[in-house]
Amino acid sequence: MIKKIILILMFTSVIFAADATVEIVKKIDSLPKIAIQDASDSSVNLNFRKRFYKIIAGDLRVSAHFRVLDEYLKSSFDGSAQENFLSKKSVDLILRFKITLQNDYVIAIVKLINASSGEVKNETNYKIQNKKRYPFLAHRIVVAINDLIGAPSIKWMEQFVIFSKYTGAKQSEIVVSDYTLSFQKTIVKGGLNIFPVWANSAQNAFYYSSYNGYVPTLYKVDLTNGSREKIISSKGMLVCSDVSADGKKLLLTMAPNDQTDIYLYDLAYKQLEKITKYSGIDVNGNFVDNDKKIIFVSDRLGYPNIFSKNLDSSSGVEQMVYRGKNNNSVSAIGNYIVYSSREKTSEFGRKVFNLYLISTKTDYVRQLTANGRNLYPRFANDKETIMFIKQYKNQSSLGIIRLNANKSYLFPLKVGKIQSIDW
């Protein structure tokens, strides 16, 4: 059975051009140059302050709405004339923070300063409980600063990421983190625990598959109280690939009779409905079109490809992708679809999987990555940001693509190998 599971997991598991696949238009004509100043007291550990600075600077870059002065600057909190203007640095804005630690809280007072006039445009207090969660405090600050200049939202930076990572033979853990992997907390460990997916938009519960018993079992974990609830078991294979917007229905990949198909599970009535009935492999279902339709991966053409099916009719399936012969993972939002496709042998080797973006309204295909194994793409809610797993040169990383800026960023996992992700 393990060999069969591995085969299915493999099946499911940067070049840019101006095109019609992205409709987002920046609201600002030119990017402001911003400097970051640390006005914290010397009593706060310098290494901690520099880590805080580094995350803020990284967030500002990833936002693609700022040009960031690559220099760690210290200042007083009120600021001298030289500190408030930074005339020699040719900057437009100054983000000044002062960190204090009180009991179990990290507190930050943040000023946004107009570097041409020295005027304080905004001053806000932020705090977060538990020092280890400081990356989320930094993300919250940058999201607020981004909103203050009227740039498109980067609220996704505050979201939790949940992922499974392999730690050894038949061993994997479920971890909650921020998007940079600077904060990580292991929630489930011991045995083979895979394919976590958030249960709701509040991100206070998640589902995952456990392959530790006689048959694979889907569990729900409540993060507010740590409780675990058994949802359903099935021999062969059992994976929850998506949750409906209202959190009441699940899309499952199951193989109770050695044949993988997509099932719809109603949580309230505990009813299971078989959606696909193909004699080959159907996996990785995702809700689209306000949960009225699903897209999924199937080998019904003789190779893995992306198809769709309406949930409210008995009509057949529709092929969605016409490029590539091994398209093995997919995500969709609105009329955009991002998928992973295995390339033919190239200068980068035989095991290259690249990400491609298409729009259901055009025939254009946009390549998003150029080397390595780029798998398991996931859209953010803003349509402009994609998260994915990158395996390259024995390094496992969480990748972020900012579509409108034509930029990508990698955040390596120091220990283990990422198996699947959700946010």
Mean pLDDT over 87-110 rounds to 94
Last residue of a domain, one of 103, 121, 151: 151
The percentage of the chain sitting over the pLDDT mark of 70, rounded to a whole number, equals: 92
pLDDT value at residue 304: 93
Domain match, 10 and 124 both: no
Shared domain for 297 and 163, answered yes or no, is: yes
Higher pLDDT, 89 or 200: 200
Task: Give the CATH number for residue 114.
Answer: 3.40.50.10070
pTM of the model: 0.89
Confidence band for 323, pLDDT divided at 50, 70 and 90 = confident
The confidence band for 333, taking pLDDT boundaries of 50, 70 and 90, is confident
297 and 387 part of one domain: yes
For the stretch 252-277, pLDDT in tens is 999 998 899 999 999 999 999 999 99
Is the residue at 305 inside a domain? yes
Q: How confident is the model at residue 346 (pLDDT cuts 50, 70, 90)?
A: low
Rg (CA), the chain: 23
Task: Give yes or no: residues 18 and 111 share one domain.
Answer: no
28 lies in some domain? no
Q: How far apart are CA 343 and CA 46, in angstroms?
A: 46
Same domain flag for 12 and 37: no
Q: In terms of domains, do 168 and 66 share one?
A: no
Residue 349's pLDDT is: 52
Q: What is the mean pLDDT of residues 173-180?
A: 98
For the segment 373-409, what is each residue's pLDDT rounded down to a tens digit?
999 999 998 889 999 999 988 889 999 999 999 999 9
Q: Which of 151, 172, 194 is the last residue of a domain?
A: 151
Q: Are residues 414 and 281 in the same domain?
A: yes
Given a contact cutoff of 8 angstroms between Cβ atoms, the answer to whether 241 and 286 are in contact is yes
Task: Look up the domain containing 104 and give its range.
Answer: 33-151
Measured in whole angstroms, how far is the alpha carbon of residue 51 from the centre of its chain?
22
**Confidence (pLDDT) at 350:** 60
Task: Write out pLDDT tens, residues 34-45.
Answer: 999 999 999 999
> Do residues 323 and 301 make contact, with C-beta atoms less than 8 angstroms apart?
no
Q: Tell whether 240 and 374 lie within a shared domain.
A: yes
In this predicted structure, the answer to whether residue 225 has a pLDDT above a threshold of 50 is yes
Residues 105 and 165 occupy one common structural domain: no
Same domain, 210 and 343: yes
Structural domain count, the chain: 2
Q: What is the average pLDDT across 206-226? A: 95
251-258 CB contacts, 8 Å cutoff, 24+ apart? 251/275, 251/285, 251/286, 251/287, 251/294, 252/218, 252/285, 253/8, 253/12, 253/282, 253/283, 253/284, 253/285, 255/8, 258/4
Residue 10 sits in a domain of what CATH number?
2.120.10.30
Domain co-membership, 160 together with 131: no
